[in-house]
C-alpha cells in the first residue's frame, strides 16, 4: 500500500509542478509531511540539503531519496517513476503539438500566465524551507550573507554549500 501511496504522491507532484524542482518543494512538503507524515519538517530540510548537494535534478533526487527513506529501494524506484512519468508524457504531447501551434497567441498567453505561478511557488518554497532553517540569529545571518553572495556577488552555489558546511561545523 505504501508503494502505491508513494507512486501516487509523486505522480501528483510531477504532474502539477511547473518551473522545476524548486517549484515542487511546496507540493513535496505537503505530501510528505502534512498528508502522509512520512517525516518531520526538520528531517525534510535535512534531506533538501542532501538533495541540493547531489548531482541531478532536484525533483528526481528528492523522489529517489524520499522514496528510499519511506520504503527502501523499491520505494525509491516507485517514487522516481511517479515523479518523471508526467513530464515524459507531457513532453511527448507538447513535442507533437507545439510545432503546429507555437505561433498562436493563445499559446504565448498561456505561458505568460504560468510564469507568475512559478515565481509564487518558488517564493512559497523559500518561506517553507526558511521556517525550519532559521533556528537562531546565527542561522538567519548566515542565510542572509549567503543570499547576498549568490545573488549580488554571483558566487557559485557549490562554493556557498561548501562554505556553509564548514561554517556549520565551526559555529554549531
d(CA 26, CA 32): 10
pLDDT in 10s for each residue of the chain, 172 residues: 999 999 999 999 888 876 666 777 888 888 899 999 998 988 888 888 888 778 888 888 889 999 999 999 999 999 999 999 998 998 888 888 877 877 888 888 988 898 898 888 888 878 877 777 888 999 999 989 999 999 999 999 889 989 988 998 998 8
d(CA 80, CA 90): 16
- Closest-CA residue to 141 (of 113, 164, 166, 116): 164
Give exposure, 55-72, as e/b (b: 16+ Cβ within 10 Å): eeebbbbbbbbbbbbbbe
Q: What is the pTM of this model?
A: 0.60
d(CA 73, CA 24): 22
Contact 10, 2 (CB under 8 A): no
d(CA 71, CA 18): 27
C-alpha dihedral (118, 123, 129, 132), degrees to nearest 10: -150
The residue extents of the domains of the chain are 2-101
Contact 28, 130 (CB under 8 A): no
d(CA 38, CA 71): 10
Residue 133, all three cell numbers: 532553517
Amino acid at each position: 500500500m505504501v508503494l502505491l501511496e508513494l507512486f501516487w504522491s509523486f505522480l501528483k507532484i510531477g504532474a502539477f509542478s511547473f518551473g522545476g524542482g524548486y517549484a515542487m518543494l511546496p507540493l513535496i512538503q505537503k505530501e510528505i509531511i502534512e498528508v502522509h507524515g512520512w517525516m518531520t519538517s526538520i528531517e525534510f530540510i535535512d534531506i533538501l540539503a542532501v538533495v541540493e548537494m547531489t548531482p541531478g535534478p532536484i525533483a528526481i533526487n528528492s523522489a529517489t531519496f524520499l522514496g528510499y527513506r519511506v520504503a527502501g529501494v523499491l520505494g525509491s524506484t516507485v517514487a522516481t517513476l511517479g515523479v518523471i512519468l508526467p513530464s515524459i508524457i507531457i513532453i511527448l504531447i507538447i513535442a507533437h503539438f507545439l510545432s503546429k501551434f507555437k505561433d498562436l497567441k493563445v499559446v504565448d498567453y498561456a505561458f505568460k500566465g504560468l510564469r507568475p505561478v512559478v515565481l509564487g511557488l518558488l517564493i512559497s518554497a523559500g518561506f517553507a524551507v526558511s521556517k525550519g532553517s532559521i533556528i537562531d540569529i546565527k542561522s538567519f545571518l548566515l542565510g542572509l550573507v549567503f543570499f547576498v553572495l549568490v545573488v549580488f556577488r554571483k558566487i557559485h552555489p557549490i562554493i556557498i554549500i561548501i562554505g556553509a558546511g564548514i561554517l556549520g561545523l565551526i559555529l554549531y
